Amino acid sequence: MTLPREHIEQLLLQFQSGQLDLEAATRRLAGSDRLATAHVDVDRQRRCGFTEVVYCEGKSVGSVVEIFKSLSTHDQHCLGTRVSKEQATALEECFPKIIYNATARTVRLPRPDKDVDGLEPVGKVSLLTAGTSDLPVAEEARETLYWMDCEVDLIVDIGVAGPHRLQEQVHRLQDSDAVVVVAGMEGALPSVVGGYVDCPVIAVPTSVGYGASFGGVTALLGMLNSCASNVTVVNIDAGFKGGYVAGLITHRMSKARKKTS
């Protein structure tokens, strides 16, 4: 891996001025930070456009805090998903500015030099739920999109059991760069939405439903078999993945608009 020349020069100047010690400068030049419980990829933003996201489920409280400290030390814009209350409490003690969403089970650490929620939003993503029970997964998608600096329009409880509810909101979808549709049960809503818009529709199946929903498998298979050509599907309850893909699309669209303006 070869870092850009300007990045290397910045690190050397920080070392020269005493802002970084030898060990920290070496880790940054390596593009990674090997901790006791994790190997943090601090070069991912340069390669992929966004920093590494921390999946917190199954990790100890100490490990999550250690990873966030590493990312913060490297001036990374941190996002953690599937965060427990205990993990969130420990992170809040270390990072008073951290933003914890208990419904989404996410934490966001704003950039050191600015309040992330005060940035000019990039593009627009419409985020829909079929029912109120799908809201936790949708909130995970929304927090991900906020972390990616995207404008989000959340529309809740417009499932196909009441078709008039979607028709009343269609006008809000027309200027979207992407639409994320979160639905359980039979997972029909993304196909219907796909017939109203000219942008990508990212379907997120949820585990909401009775026995024959098989924990979201029924919704997943229904969405995979959508006859709407603009519908693509992510994993069950994967609000983060749905939001992330929509955010990438929105950033690409924003760059294209700037080139043509």
Tell me the average pLDDT of the chain. 85
pTM: 0.83
Residue 188's CB: how many other CB atoms inside 10 A? 18
Task: Spell out the domain ranges in the chain.
Answer: 33-115, 120-260
Q: In this predicted model, what pLDDT tens digit does every residue of 167-216 receive, in sequence order? A: 999 999 999 999 999 999 999 999 999 999 999 999 999 999 999 999 99
Q: Is it the case that residue 249 has pLDDT exceeding 90?
A: yes
Judged against a pLDDT cut of 60, whether residue 34 lies above it is answered with no
Neighbours of 256 (CB within 10 A): 11
- Which amino acid would we find at residue 175? D
- pLDDT tens by residue, 116-136: 455 578 899 999 999 999 999
Q: Is 151 exposed, middle or buried (0-12, 13-18, 19+ CB in 10 A)?
A: middle
CATH 1.25.40.10, applies to 120-260: no
Residue 155 pLDDT > 60, yes or no? yes
pLDDT at 240 over 90: yes
Best CA proximity match to 244, nearest among 172, 161, 176, 143: 143
Higher-pLDDT residue of 170, 15:
170
Given a cut of 60, is residue 76 above it in pLDDT? yes
pLDDT attached to residue 156: 95
DSSP 84: -
Q: Is the pLDDT of residue 115 over 50?
A: no
